[in-house]
């Protein structure tokens, strides 16, 4: 083999496992050797589960020896620390949940385990998924494997860094306003946010319930299709889960995109966009045109209002969802207090970080008497306008292509004292989240400083297969996904 086991993809190891050329225990051991070797420099993991992972790997090997193989049997997967894992600490990267051990698995964790998948551990993130740089974690920031002085993106920065640095084969993330796609772009890998309701949210610790969506972070598009196939589908335990039947995405790994019309929204090419990012995306679109796709300019006129609407809606929902962390039943409780009210105040003040407090305050304000109609109600109307923009656009095109982020990965500390500048990092990913449509980021270039650039592909509701087809075709006709961080390769 030309590669170490930890460097491989899901589909590469699947073939070797099925041919009995490797075993899951050796594969999992290789991953942990990699983590022990380099994670002190990256900080991608909050909690690892070596003992239980090796037991799961042994069970998978026995299952395969009996000829019983499912989609993920023996495959190691990392999990963002906002998804509940039974008997494995789940913290949301917050002091508030520092010692929380869930008594149950999230539905998608159940699905992975039932298919013989191996849970490696829980990855670092922005606290309660609130951030774009993985700098708000109580457990310290995650470094970008391409340049450890730079951020990995957020909020699924730990999952993205772990995949990019070969500390896992693939990882689960969650995306509320770009939290899978933006860090995938910064780390040079594939991030896929499915349609809202396509993947169960049961067991996902809520930030903004109408926006949160679990998805995949992988080394390439084929792995994204495999992992999405494994976790998608209706879940009666999730009231928002859709009964729309999920197609097998692996059947859509096609190199033919001649039937696709791709829309390029003029509103996404702003003056503030980095020139290297813009040029790489334009080159990628030209490549798609040469591959046979039809390209047309479209308009998404309400894009400029997306960030404002998002931060009102998301903060309002966060204010409501995080009210449960009061120090009474579970989570952090202050050690010194004089009354019940004082316990609430101190527990929340000490348990939450600065960015979480900022959003709770904003959300509480916009939901307060006299301001609900002025802010939250208006933001909800803007969300509908943005949804309708996409609905109209998809009458004229099959897919929409844009930059994933306006820049490549920025320096750690560069935006921490300027929240508005930090929020701007999600300007291209937020509209798809507000509309609930599926979207993915794949690599499309490298800056002069050697940093990856991502291109975003958005599709119509429940049309994940079209995104997979275009992404796979582009990937197979380029080499960007094969680039690795030099310092960790």
Give the closest residue to 265 by CA, choosing from 422, 427, 478, 409: 427
CA distance 135 to 131: 7
Contact 96, 90 (CB under 8 A): no
Catalytically active residues are: 80, 155, 179
CA distances from 30 to 54, 218, 391 (A): 11, 18, 46
Contact 124, 44 (CB under 8 A): yes
CA distances from 366 to 312, 315, 320 (A): 7, 9, 12
What are phi and psi for residue 165, nearest 5 degrees?
-95, 10
Contact 455, 284 (CB under 8 A): yes
Q: Please, where are the H alpha helices in 165-261? A: 181-187, 221-231
Pair of tokens at residue 252: 């859509």
CA distance 144 to 158: 9
Give the closest residue to 172 by CA, choosing from 135, 121, 98: 121
Task: Give every CB contact of residue 87 below 8 A, 6+ residues apart in sequence.
Answer: 52, 101, 102, 103
CA distance 440 to 241: 20
Secondary structure class of 263 (helix, strand, coil): strand
Contact 445, 478 (CB under 8 A): no
Q: What is the CA radius of gyration of the chain?
A: 21
Task: Give every CB contact of residue 277 below 8 A, 6+ residues apart in sequence.
Answer: 403, 405, 406, 407, 408, 445, 453
Task: Give every CB contact of residue 108 below 8 A, 6+ residues apart in sequence.
Answer: 83, 172, 199, 200, 203, 214, 231
Secondary structure class of 445 (helix, strand, coil): strand
Element (H, E) at 7: none
């Amino acid at each position: 083999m030309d590669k170490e086991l930890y460097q491989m993809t899901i589909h590469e190891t699947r073939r070797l496992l099925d041919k009995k050329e490797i075993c899951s225990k050796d594969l999992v051991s290789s991953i942990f050797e990699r983590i022990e070797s380099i994670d002190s420099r990256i900080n991608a993991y909050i909690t690892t589960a070596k003992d239980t992972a090796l037991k799961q790997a042994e069970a998978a090997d026995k299952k395969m020896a009996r000829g019983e193989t499912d989609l993920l049997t023996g495959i190691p997967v990392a999990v963002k620390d906002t998804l509940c894992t039974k008997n494995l600490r789940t913290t949301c990267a917050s002091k508030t949940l520092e010692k929380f051990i869930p008594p149950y698995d999230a539905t998608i964790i159940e699905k992975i385990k039932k298919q013989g998948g191996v849970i490696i551990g829980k990855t670092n993130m922005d606290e309660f998924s609130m951030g774009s740089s993985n700098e708000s974690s109580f457990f310290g920031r995650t470094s970008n494997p391409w340049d450890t002085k730079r951020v990995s993106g957020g909020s699924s920065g730990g999952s993205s860094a772990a995949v990019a640095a070969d500390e896992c084969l693939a990882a689960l993330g969650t995306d509320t306003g770009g939290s899978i796609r933006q860090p995938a772009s910064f780390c040079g890998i594939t991030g896929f946010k499915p349609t809202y309701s396509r993947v169960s949210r049961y067991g996902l610790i809520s930030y903004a319930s109408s926006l949160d969506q679990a998805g995949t972070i992988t080394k390439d598009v084929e792995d994204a299709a495999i992992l999405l196939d494994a976790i998608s589908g209706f879940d009666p335990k999730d009231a928002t889960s859709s009964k729309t039947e999920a197609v097998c995405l692996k059947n859509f790994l096609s190199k033919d995109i001649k039937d696709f019309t791709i829309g390029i929204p003029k509103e996404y090419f702003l003056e503030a966009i980095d020139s290297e990012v813009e040029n790489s995306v334009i080159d990628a679109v030209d490549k798609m045109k040469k591959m046979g796709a039809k390209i047309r300019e479209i308009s998404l006129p309400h894009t400029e209002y997306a960030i404002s609407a998002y931060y009102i809606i998301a903060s309002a929902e966060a204010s409501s969802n995080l009210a449960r962390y009061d120090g009474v039943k579970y989570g952090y409780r202050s050690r010194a207090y004089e009354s019940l009210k004082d316990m609430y105040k101190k527990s929340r003040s000490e348990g939450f970080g600065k960015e979480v407090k900022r959003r709770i305050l904003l959300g509480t304000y916009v939901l307060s008497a006299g301001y609900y109609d002025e802010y939250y109600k208006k933001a909800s109307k803007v969300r509908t306008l943005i949804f309708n923009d996409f609905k109209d656009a998809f009458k004229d095109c099959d897919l929409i292509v844009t930059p994933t982020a306006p820049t490549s990965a920025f320096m750690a500390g560069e935006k921490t004292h300027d929240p508005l500048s930090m929020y701007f990092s999600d300007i291209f990913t937020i509209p798809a989240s507000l509309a609930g449509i599926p979207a993915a980021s794949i690599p499309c270039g490298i800056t002069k400083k050697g940093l990856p650039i991502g291109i975003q592909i958005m599709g119509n509701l429940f049309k994940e297969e079209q995104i997979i087809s275009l992404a796979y075709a582009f990937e197979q006709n380029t080499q960007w996904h094969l680039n690795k961080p030099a310092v960790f390769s």
